[in-house]
Chains A and B, each alone.
Chain A
Amino acid sequence: MSAEPDSATLLTLAGQGDKAALSALYRRYERPVYRFILSKLNDPHEAADILQDVFMDVWRSASRFEGRSKVQTWIFGIAWRKTIDAHRKRGRMATTGDEMPEIEDENVNTEACVLAGQEAEHVHHCLGELSEDHRTAVRLAFLEDMSYRAIAEVLEAAEGTIKTRVFHAKKLLLRCLQGRVQRGADA
């Protein structure tokens, strides 16, 4: 059995009008891209519409892909811009979450964090406590396994901004997870 072509090859073929290559790209990225859009909009129908627009854009723009980034990054970048447009149309722009109150730099109990990090309920709760920008960066890092350079490209932000954003998000998450365990133990 022959291995499936890599994404860059598929995108090149799609740029030449090969719909089967677009189908293969769709099947490869549809779920994570939809998940990313849905996490920002929280509306499955609108997210499905934007997903459709994203892949129509992929079809129209494939021949202009220059290979300077990974295909995953390029497609997520399209999804990000369309999602931001949808936010604007709704009149609720994403707020920037980079301003953050100083947290005391106290050590966290990492054993407690490991335990809490294994519990979906705790992780979901603590992710929900983050600002939208922090949560988006963490989701791209941990769900989509993107490098900080790729996240910066998708979100059209500086690499240093993304590293700082993930750093703060990580501190808040660990503190939250530790608190969940401590409260559970105290109860």
Chain B
Amino acid sequence: MTEQERREIEELLPFLANGTLEGDEKTRVEDALQNDASLAGELAALIAMRDTMKAEEGTESPGEFGHARLMRALEKKTPVQTAPAAAAPQTSRPIFWQIAAGVLCAALLGQAVWNSGADEGDYILAGGGEAALTVTFNPDATEDQIRNLLLDAGVEIVGGPSALGLYELAPLEDVSLDEAASVLEDNSEILESIDRVEE
């Protein structure tokens, strides 16, 4: 193997490690590996490094809160646009659609209340008008934990966060407030506080 050929193989090695190499390039690298123990060792080191990076990557992302924000922004941009229902296939689990639809409805309702001159005190949240519960999440709770809890309890975020970190929740259509509250109250490691909204 010439120096240039070896350099080319070494350049492609990381992409064999991540499984994206194809065709002739993949064959060339695999052939080279069979005759060169140091290349094989380098590949093993790259794979170990990649596995470690993937295992350790625990970035918390905006998750469902970001999704609700995106849907609210879309609603403001395209207030009358509707999807062609017949053309839309089942693209996610039904519960997600319920949450997405709920957030959209809540955003519209919230906007209506806001525009009608509701009292804008510090405790008024930015979102919907059907909130039945207000909660604060434990700062250490992960987005996965929060999402799973909301799904388990059958509730959706309809407003917030307020300046105090309060979120408004509403039960989904087929979930009673008592059922939802009971599930939420059993998860004090995720929720710091939970209060019912007074009628």
Contacts and interface: CB of A to CB of B under 8 A. Distances in A.
B57 A22 contact: no
Given A2-B90, A34-B61, A124-B56, A16 B44 contact: no
B70 to A, nearest CB: 5
B164 interface: no
25 contacts: A13-B88, A17-B78, A17-B81, A18-B83, A20-B83, A20-B100, A23-B92, A23-B100, A26-B70, A27-B96, A35-B61, A51-B66, A56-B77, A59-B74, A111-B41, A123-B52, A138-B14, A139-B53, A142-B17, A143-B57, A145-B20, A146-B18, A148-B15, A167-B11, A170-B13
B118 interface: no
Interface in B11-66: 11-15, 17-21, 38, 41-42, 44-57, 59, 61-63, 66
A114 B41 contact: yes
Interface of A: 2, 4-5, 9-10, 13, 16-24, 26-27, 30-31, 34-35, 38, 48, 51-52, 55-56, 59, 107-108, 110-111, 113-114, 117-120, 123-124, 127, 138-139, 141-143, 145-148, 150, 163-164, 166-167, 170, 173-174, 177
Interface residues of B, number: 56
B92 A114 contact: no
A9 B147 CA distance: 26
Given A23-B71, A145-B19, A174-B42, A18 B88 contact: yes
